[in-house]
Each structure stands twice: as structure tokens, then as C-alpha cells.
Amino acid sequence: MSATVRELVDEAYDRRESTWRAALETVNDWVESVRTPSPLLSGDRVRVVEGRIKDRMRTGEKLRRKLADSNDEIHESVEVENQVIDVVGARVVCRTEREQTALWDLLTEGDDTNLSIAEVRDYSATPKPSGYRGRHLIVEVPFEAEPSVLVELQLRTILQDAWCVLAEEHLFKPGQALKSDPQQERLSVILSGLLAQADSVAGYIADDVGAYLGLGNAAPLRSFAEVEEPTDPAIEVTIRELNHSYVLAADEVGRHGIIRLETLGLTPDNPERSAFPHPGDKLQVRMDESNTTRYFIPVSREG
């Protein structure tokens, strides 16, 4: 190799860092311009947080690993960006999965910008083995006088971002020569699953409260009369918690879901208190899952 990895990384940073920061600002401005007109994405429902230029040492370490894995080498500093495409990182934190999906759709479907999307990585649909969840776009930012810049734009929910703070940064990126053991990695995946379940419930509660208060950016309540009769066999769930317009229940393997009061023949405005289920009660239900929420629909009730 004509130059060491460290020398090539230093050269790339010295030559391009100011352009990288300009590209990061361009992507942040793009996100703001896309989300501002949408009532659903207003205020603190979506936060464009401070992005980052990857630390030189981490870029060098990642580059060495990648070259070793591919039995390859590089000779020019310009190749650093081609090999490590997440040198520049932008990040957006959304309140719930609903806002994340809405922003994702606007960013991926819009074509009124000179920016282009080079790659799409949906780790919410297919989490990483570590348990990481989030949605990433590799955005190409053009410049007139020099090569374009790739910016990794991460869209996370509050709880997905919390997982990164609690698990990823401590277990997988500790900044020192320490490796997480299998037990820690297993617990990290469990934590990811628990937070994903909480994300679904948080999204439902946000919609429910918004509809209850008559907020304009609330999602419409689902009409279960329009749901086709499910063909899955009934399962038994245990009531865990009651709220003003829904019941939280869990099945025997720990999957949590929502039971709306109207599916029990009740309504938030005119409930029959004696007909309410109680924590610990068992119900036979069928399961109806959307991309963000699991619903339990009672098919019979044990008194």
C-alpha cells in the first residue's frame, strides 16, 4: 500500500471536512423543508438533532476491517469515502413510529430536490442482529466544484434512539478494546424487542389521546367493522391494564396488544362499569397486526 490507512484518512479529512459539514447542513435543511408543511410532523413530534462527522480513528478502524475482509487496498484518499459511506451522519428523532413512517414516506417519495437517495436501509422492518432498529437513507449531496458527498440519514423513534444510548453505544461502540459477551448481546436484543413493543403502545396512545382531544393531527380511529374476518385461530390473553378507551392485554408468550372498548360492546363516553374486564381476566381473541400496532379482537368472553 502506497500510504498507510491513517495517512489516507487524515488526508481525506483535511481536504473534505468543510464540504462534509456543508452536506450535513443541506440534508438537515431538506428534512426541515419536507416536514414543516405536515401537521402530523409539526413541533417536537420530529426533531432534527445535531449530526456528526465520524471520528477519524473510527473511520480508520472501519476502513481497515473492510479492506481486510475484502482482501483489498486503497491508494488515494478519495477512496476513503467510497469505502466508508457513513462518514457523514444526520439524525432525526421522531416521537413514535407513526411520525417516523410519515416522514420516511415523504422523504423517499418526493422528487422536488436536487438530492438523490443512493440507498435505503430499513432496520425497523428487519432489525440488525444486535437488535438495532431504525430507518436509514444514504443521501447523495451534489457540489459543483468537487465530488458529491454521501450522508447517512437516520430516522429513529424516541425509543429506538434510547436503545442506542442504553445498548449500542455501551456494548458495541465503547471506544476501547472491550468486547461484549454473549449474555450482554442477548440482553441487548431482548431490550430492543421490549422497546419495540413499547413503541407500538406509545403510538397507539398518542393517536388515542389526539382523537380524544380533537387534535387535527391525530390519526383516525380504526373501524373494526371494516376489518375482514380473521382466519387465524383464537388465542387466550390476560388483561394487564385498563385505560379510558382501551385495554392492554398479553398472550401466553408475552406479546402485548390493544383491545378497544367498542370491541367489548363498550364506548369511552357511555361505558358499563360492571361490564369492564379486570386485570387478570382471561379473554379469547383473534390477533390483527398492522405495521405499528397489535390489536386483540375478542371472539368470546369468560365471566
Query: How many CB atoms neighbour CB 115 within 10 A?
Result: 21
Alpha-carbon distance 255 to 250, whole Å? 5
What pLDDT does residue 48 have?
95
Please write the tens of the pLDDT for every residue from 8-60: 999 999 999 999 999 999 999 999 999 999 888 888 889 999 899 999 998 99
- In the structure grid, which three cell numbers stand for residue 9, read together? 484518512
What pTM was estimated for this model as a whole?
Answer: 0.66
Distances (CA, A) of 117 to 53, 113, 235, 301: 19, 11, 43, 50
Confidence label for 240 from pLDDT (cuts 50, 70 and 90): confident
What pLDDT does residue 225 have?
42
Residue 275's DSSP bridge partners are none
Contact 278, 239 (CB under 8 A): yes
Please write the tens of the pLDDT for every residue from 214-233: 444 555 544 444 444 445 57
Per the listing, cell 387535527 goes with 216
Q: Which has the higher per-residue pLDDT, 182 or 217?
A: 182
Please write the tens of the pLDDT for every residue from 169-178: 666 554 444 5
> In angstroms, how far is the first alpha carbon of the chain from the final one?
76
Please write the tens of the pLDDT for every residue from 50-104: 899 999 998 999 999 888 888 888 888 888 988 998 999 999 999 988 899 999 9
Q: Is the pLDDT of residue 200 over 70?
A: yes
Per the listing, cell 465520524 goes with 54
Please write the tens of the pLDDT for every residue from 114-170: 899 999 999 988 888 888 999 999 999 999 989 999 999 999 999 999 998 887 666
Please write the tens of the pLDDT for every residue from 252-300: 877 888 888 777 776 555 555 566 778 888 888 888 876 667 888 888 5
What pLDDT does residue 269 have?
54
